[in-house]
């Protein structure tokens, strides 16, 4: 998944092409997985927050590319570039930036981030992309309540001030699917006025 921050401006055409290829474009206030930066000046803004791919201008000199890497960029693509090559560079950067993703266990829920498979008591769950991401976020720390602002920011890439019911509807569907496998446990608990948490038991 690709999320580009509001500081990265690769152009509307490129953004639309990326959407068609299954990447998600973050809005203002989102937390991107990777940033497409229109020039080396954006690198320092995002370095440490997300991997950065710089789109250099035609005829950029080696010293400009060296400076971008010294500032912390993860890749540098000189325009004009081949779109499919850029997509593969994005995917390679994402693979390198997430070496620790693996298996998460929260009580009877097991999540495999690499294969994007979730199960309850060994029974697989049929989840949409966002339902899986929501469950993974809640399972990352199952003993605490995640605020709606946090979940909208981390799962949907929305600005914290966004007003939307999408979180509530996804949480409701996720709860129904979990309870279909284990009707005795509510699993997804709505803390009114605050956010959501998983319901255990969760050892430790």
Q: Give the 3-state secondary structure of residue 127.
A: coil
* Greatest mean pLDDT range, 1-10, 38-47, 142-151, 168-177: 168-177
CA distance linking residue 48 with residue 196, whole number of Å: 28
Domain 103-198 has CATH 3.90.45.10: no
Backbone angles phi, psi at 181, to 5 degrees: -90, -25
Q: Considering just the CA atoms, what is the radius of gyration of the chain in Å?
A: 19
CB 110 within 8 A of CB 88: no
CB count within 10 Å of CB 13 equals: 9
Tell me the mean pLDDT in the region 67-94: 84
Q: Are 200 and 142 in contact (CB under 8 A)?
A: yes
Max mean pLDDT among 8-12, 44-48, 183-187 falls in 183-187
**Spatial separation of the C-alpha atoms in residues 123 and 109, rounded to whole Å:** 9
pLDDT digits (tens, 9 = 90+) for 28-74: 666 778 888 877 777 777 766 778 888 888 878 888 888 888 778 88
How much is the pLDDT for 204?
43
Label residue 96 by pLDDT band (50, 70, 90).
low
Phi, psi of 90 (to 5 degrees): -60, -45
Q: Given pLDDT bands bounded at 50, 70 and 90, which one contains residue 174? A: very high
Mean of pLDDT values over 84-98? 79
Tokens of 68: 């971008």
Q: Where are the domains of the chain?
A: 12-97, 103-198
CA–CA dist 149, 132 (Å, integer): 18
The pTM for the full model equals 0.51
pLDDT at 142 over 60: yes
12-97 has which fold? Rossmann fold (3.40.50)
**Does residue 5 carry a pLDDT above 50?**
no
CA 186 distance to own-chain centroid:
26
> Which of 47-56, 83-92, 118-127, 187-196 is predicted with the least confidence, judged by mean pLDDT?
47-56
pLDDT at position 6 is 42
Q: Quick check: 39 and 65 in contact, CB under 8 A?
A: no
Q: Rounded to an integer, what distance in angstroms lies between the CA atom of residue 139 and that of residue 24?
A: 22
Contact indicator for 188, 200 with CB cutoff of 8 Å: no
């Amino acid at each position: 998944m690709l999320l580009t921050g509001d500081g990265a401006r690769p152009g509307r055409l490129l953004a639309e092409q990326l959407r068609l290829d299954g990447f998600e474009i973050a809005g203002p206030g989102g937390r991107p997985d990777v940033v497409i930066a229109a020039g080396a000046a954006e690198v320092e803004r995002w370095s440490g927050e997300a991997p950065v791919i710089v789109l250099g201008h035609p005829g950029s000199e080696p010293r400009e590319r060296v400076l971008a890497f010294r500032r912390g960029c993860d890749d540098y693509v000189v325009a004009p570039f081949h779109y499919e090559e850029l997509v593969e560079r994005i995917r390679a950067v994402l693979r390198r930036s997430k070496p620790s993703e693996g298996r998460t266990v929260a009580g009877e829920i097991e999540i495999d981030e690499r294969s994007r498979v979730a199960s309850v008591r060994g029974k697989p769950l049929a989840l949409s992309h966002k339902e899986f991401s929501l469950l993974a976020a809640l399972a990352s720390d199952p003993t605490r309540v995640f605020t709606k602002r946090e979940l909208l920011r981390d799962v949907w890439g929305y600005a914290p001030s966004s007003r939307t019911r999408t979180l509530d509807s996804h949480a409701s569907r996720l709860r129904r699917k979990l309870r279909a496998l284990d009707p005795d446990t509510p699993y997804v608990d709505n803390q009114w006025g605050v956010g959501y948490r998983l319901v255990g038991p969760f050892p430790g």
